[in-house]
Amino acid sequence: MKTDPKPDTLEVEPLALEGGAPVRTTPLPLEFPGMHYLDQAEIEAVVRVLKSRSLFRYYGIDLQAEVLAFEREFAEFIGVKHALAVSSGSAALQTALSALGVGPGQEVIVPAYLWVAVVAAVVNLGAIPVLADIDDSFTLDPREVETHITPRTVGMIAVHMSGAPANVPALLEIARQRRLFLLEDCAQCAGGSIGGKKVGSLGDMAIFSFQMNKNMSSGEGGCVVTNDQHLYQRAVAAHDNGYARDEAGRAIYDNLDLCLWGRGCRLDELRGAILRVQLEKLPEIIRHMRESKYRIRRALEAFPQVHLRRIVDRDGDTGAFLILTFDRPSEARKTQQALRAEGIATSSQGITNVVMTDWGLHIYSNIVSLVRKTSTDRRGFPWSLAENRDSKVQYAKGTCPFADSLFERSILLTIPSCLTPDDEDDILQAFRKVLAR
Ligand X SMILES: Cc1ncc(COP(=O)(O)O)c(C=O)c1O
**Which residues would be at the binding site for ligand X (CB under 6 A)?**
88-90, 93, 115, 117-118, 159, 185, 187-188, 209, 211, 222
Q: Which residue is nearest to ligand X (CB)?
A: 89
* CB nearer ligand X, residue 90 or residue 137: 90
In three-state secondary structure terms, 50 is helix
Rounded to whole angstroms, the Cα distance separating 152 from 81 reads 30
| Beta carbon of residue 222, minimum distance to ligand X (angstroms, whole number) | 5
| Torsion angle of the four alpha carbons 238, 243, 249, 255, in this order, in degrees rounded to the nearest 10 | 120
| Beta carbon of residue 244, minimum distance to ligand X (angstroms, whole number) | 23
Rounded to whole angstroms, the Cα distance separating 299 from 4 reads 7
* CB nearer ligand X, residue 343 or residue 416: 416
| Beta carbon of residue 189, minimum distance to ligand X (angstroms, whole number) | 8
Task: Note whether 27 and 348 are within 8 A (CB).
Answer: no
* CB nearer ligand X, residue 188 or residue 388: 188
| Beta carbon of residue 179, minimum distance to ligand X (angstroms, whole number) | 25
Nearest to 391 by CA among 407, 373, 403, 405: 373
* CB nearer ligand X, residue 125 or residue 341: 125
| Beta carbon of residue 108, minimum distance to ligand X (angstroms, whole number) | 14
Rounded to whole angstroms, the Cα distance separating 430 from 299 reads 12
* CB nearer ligand X, residue 118 or residue 127: 118
| Beta carbon of residue 263, minimum distance to ligand X (angstroms, whole number) | 13
Alpha-carbon radius of gyration of the chain: 22
Nearest to 100 by CA among 19, 26, 181: 181
* CB nearer ligand X, residue 63 or residue 187: 187
* CB nearer ligand X, residue 86 or residue 258: 86
Burial class (CB in 10 A: 0-12, 13-18, 19+), 310: middle
| Beta carbon of residue 264, minimum distance to ligand X (angstroms, whole number) | 15
Q: Which residues contact 276 (CB under 8 A, 6 or more apart)?
A: 45, 66, 69, 70, 73
DSSP-derived secondary structure letter, 376:
S
